[in-house]
Amino acid sequence: MRAMTLMVSGLVMAAAVAVHAASPNDVATARQKNFKQIGGAMKAASDTLKSPAPNLATIRASAATILSLAPKVPTWFPAGSGIGHVSVKTGAKPEIWSDAAGFKLAAANLLKAAGDYKAAADSGNMDAIRAKQMALGMTCKGCHDKYRQKDD
């Protein structure tokens, strides 16, 4: 319960960061922090899935974190917060805005896959969890390949 309360207050704080992110630099920094959280959750799940006895609680926590953040992804990219517009390091390519429909679709794919993964995690079926976690990972890659510049 305490862990849950801490987690919830963490989420509230993360939301507050987004709301008060005024400058484009702050927007980019907050966005990267949020993606790091998503990345950490994916890694925790991948790591435990490699072990002989995967920890279902870890998987469920990762799924909950990712599904809580996935709907917000489109709000992390206001115009003017990408490469060439901010002085902090960013991998947000201009295509995010020049191909806004494609980017929106990539974010929708993430949200759908995050929902499927969460449902599988809730069911506890390891085969389904593996399949949905892999499918989720493909949606990360699908967006990154087009819209994220890795070597910055």
Is residue 90 a contact point for ligand HEC (CB under 6 A)? yes
Using CA atoms, how far residue 69 sits from 144, 148, 151, in Å, is 17, 18, 25
Nearest to 108 by CA among 64, 62, 148, 70: 70
Task: Scan residues 100-119 and list those touching ligand HEC (CB under 6 A).
Answer: 103, 106-107, 110
Is residue 121 a contact point for ligand HEC (CB under 6 A)? no
In the complex with ligand HEC, the residue whose CB is nearer, 130 or 148, is: 148
Choices 6-14, 17-25, 56-64, 135-143; region in contact with ligand HEC by CB under 6 A: 135-143
To ligand HEC, the closest distance from the beta carbon of 122 in angstroms equals: 18
Per the CB < 8 A criterion, the answer to whether 141 and 69 are in contact is: no
To ligand HEC, the closest distance from the beta carbon of 69 in angstroms equals: 9
Nearest-10 Cα torsion for 42, 43, 45, 47? 160
Per the CB < 8 A criterion, the answer to whether 139 and 109 are in contact is: yes
* Binding letters toward ligand HEC, positions 12-51, x by CB under 6 A: ----------------x--xx--xx-xx--x---------
